[in-house]
Amino acid sequence: MFSIFNFQFSIFSCMKNFEISETDKAILPDLIDKINNLTKPKGSLGLLERTATRIGLIQQTLSPELRKPQNIIFAADHGIVKEGVSFSAPEVTAQMIFNFIKGGAGVNMFARQHHFGIKLVDCGVNADFEPMEGLIDRKIRKSTSNYLYEAAMSETEFDRAIEIGAEIVDMVHGEGTNVVSFGEMGIANTSSSSMWMTYLTGIPLSDCVGAGSGLSKDGVEHKYNVLKQCMENYKGDGTPKDIIRYFGGFEMVAAVGGMLRAAELGMIIIVDGFIMTNCVLAGRALYPALTDYCIYGHQGDECGHKLVLDYLGAEPLLNLGLRLGEGTGAICAYPLLESAVNMINEMASFKEAAVTKYFK
């Protein structure tokens, strides 16, 4: 009876499938032609021109638009925190939930400034919360397991986290949003990001491990030694899905699911810092076309972020030395997306302005 139950369970427990196609490049020559014939020297607006082109490809139009931007914050705790890999105390995750709801976090301030909506989702915070306005309860369980000794989550929990991410993106899409960023709150999630990064890129672990929320040099060395031991203890099958499940956090896997659903819906994804860039890395390992829908908000100050951006061939919009997370860097970059869209839509062409074209 037990074996039959396991067989039936494996049938019904499987990862949600997504249909994500590469953006159709047939429109690319027309996008480039329109941008090149605006009243400016060819290429003189640099990265803004390339950003406008990317947005046009995502939306398959010469006149793109940005509607009702929203930042989705997934929150959860990590079992690996027990090994002293983070400067911050584990209770900070739960404490920050209240700070987000009160509007006192960095991401709240930037969201107000740039008119972003915020969705805050509890995927696995190690605390009990009363029902609260502003907090979406999708708790899988209180914290992942400690992957020094075992997988962070089961396959069923992995699948559930993917579904949660997709569900919340469906929610914001239904509200009229076509541009979304993702943030995270989870003490020790730079450790999980480092593990994803080294396994999915082949970059040495030592280059993937940084200070996180403020570790000293000795703290970083301890963090590295713990994660190195985690690699030595790993007994999985080495597939991308198994790596993501074994070392990930619920909030990170939910972000992957959200990104995949956003790409499936043809939405623009603004990528935040080190952790969210590694979520793109993970999502791309499952669905390579994901990166066609990504615009990278910034290069952060966490060790390894530039390396993973370079691995993805990403061109970040900002480099301000940020390492806060929460989606802050993505939101800070949003005005540049607005500038890129305004450029392609509002600048006159040489023909419209009756200006002689002054370049070849």
Q: Which residues contact 224 (CB under 8 A, 6 or more apart)?
A: 205, 206, 209
Burial class (CB within 10 angstroms; exposed 0-12, middle 13-18, buried 19+) of 360: exposed
Provide the 8-state DSSP code for 266.
Answer: T
Please report the pLDDT score of residue 360 as a whole number: 65
The beta-strand segments (E) located in 55-154 are: 70-76, 117-124, 136-137
**Kind and range of the H or E run holding 330:** helix 328-346
Handedness of CA 274, 275, 279, 281 (dihedral sign): positive
Distance CA 231, CA 27 (A): 45
Residue 356 pLDDT: 87
Written as one string, the DSSP assignment of 209-260 is ---TTT--HHHHHHHHHHHHHHHHH--S---HHHHHHHH--HHHHHHHHHHH
Give residue-wise pLDDT tens across range 247-264.
999 999 999 999 999 999
Alpha helices (runs of H) in 44-154, residue ranges in sequence order: 46-59, 92-102, 106-114
Partners of 269 in the beta sheet?
Answer: 180, 294
Does position 3 have pLDDT exceeding 50, yes or no? no
pLDDT, tens digit, for every residue of 56-104? 999 999 999 999 999 999 999 999 999 999 988 889 999 999 999 999 9
Q: Find the range with the poorest average confidence among 108-117, 162-171, 317-326, 333-342.
A: 317-326
Using an 8 Å Cβ cutoff, are 296 and 329 in contact? no
**Counting beta carbons within 10 angstroms of the beta carbon of residue 16, is it exposed (0 to 12), middle (13 to 18) or buried (19 or more)?**
middle
Which residues are known catalytic residues?
Answer: 326
Q: Please list the residues that pair with 270 across neighbouring strands.
A: 181, 295
185-240 tens-digit pLDDT: 999 999 999 999 999 999 999 999 988 878 898 999 999 999 999 999 999 999 99
